[in-house]
Amino acid sequence: MRFTLAIYAIATCIAINLCGCSWSKASITEGTFDVYAPAPYTGAAFSMDEKSSVKRASVQVRKYDKETWQLHGLTNEEANTGGGGYKLEKSDANIAYRLLRFPVTGAFDYFSKNRISMWGLGFGLDPFPFIRASAGINSRFIEAGIAAYLNLSMNNFSAKGKWISVEGTLAGDMDDYGDLDCNKCHETKFHGGFGGFLNLFPIKELALSYAPFLYKPWWDDEIQNRDISFEFPYIISQYFGASYLIAKHVQISAGTTIYLGKAFTGHYWFYDTGIGFVF
């Protein structure tokens, strides 16, 4: 039995070494990609009692928007299959983001505080599922922390370009190439990022909030199981707002979010409102 297993293991290792590796790369000359903008996150946004925990069910309402942002400075890097095979030339990538803000976001968050340190964990729909986590401090006059966000969504895109590939086989590498022409295609993708939040409490129930966030769409930089020859750029959002906790249970908020990034010119403002039930 042990001898048979050893033979199988040796045969597997030989096959792997003979087959080599397979890969595929796409050069996109023009394309438009959907990006869902996450709702702003400001932590608990009220002064919690020491050694306490709370839960919050919330809904954020915002105007449904579709903004197309033309990106600048993106370049398809050169790639080739080797051995005088197929080649993708270095070229400009004419890429745009279509930013989507769904009108209603639902979330459930849990916060736990020790003496001054606190942590939070939440999940929700925006309109696709997301999870988020935070850690920081919460005192009588200030709350500050860091947060991480992960989202899984179905994204539409249109793209044109070319692709090359190498498939490793026992007989050697097999090269291939073709045109990429996809109109109104869609893929399920992870998106995410990290940021922070700062809340000032002039009175215990009132929070003046600032929340910056760095967001990376299309995490794997891949379409149709092919690596793309550039990286999707980050989006930076900054939220400025205020919230008020009524009768220790109802939390209302309002503010504005500005979106900007190195790859697109200008900036974009949107308004956000929300209501939550704390228990």
Note whether residue 145 is domain-resident.
Answer: yes
Q: How many domains does the chain have?
A: 1
pLDDT tens, position by position, 201-218: 999 899 999 999 999 988
Note whether residue 189 is domain-resident.
Answer: yes
pLDDT at 169: 62
pLDDT band at 66 (very low <50, low <70, confident <90, very high): confident
Answer whether residue 234 shows pLDDT above 60.
yes
Domain coverage including residue 221: 34-75+94-159+183-278
Give the residue-averaged pLDDT of 147-153: 94
pLDDT at 156: 92
Distance from the first to the final alpha carbon of the chain: 61
List, as one string, the DSSP characters of 225-255: TEEESSPPPPEEEEEEEEEEEETTTEEEEEE
- Rounded to the nearest integer, the mean pLDDT of the chain is 87
Residue 51 DSSP class: T
pLDDT tens, position by position, 86-115: 888 899 999 999 988 888 999 999 999 999
Residue 262 DSSP class: T
Note whether residue 177 is domain-resident.
Answer: no
pLDDT at 85: 76
Give the residue-averaged pLDDT of 214-239: 89
| CATH number of the domain bearing residue 225 | 2.40.160
Answer whether residue 14 shows pLDDT above 70.
no
Note whether residue 15 is domain-resident.
Answer: no
pLDDT at 175: 76
Note whether residue 87 is domain-resident.
Answer: no
Cα within 13 Å of Cα(19), Cβ side:
11
- Amino acid in the structure at residue 206: L
Note whether residue 174 is domain-resident.
Answer: no
pLDDT at 243: 98
Note whether residue 25 is domain-resident.
Answer: no
Any idea of the CA torsion for 112, 117, 123, 125, to the nearest 10 degrees?
120
Note whether residue 147 is domain-resident.
Answer: yes
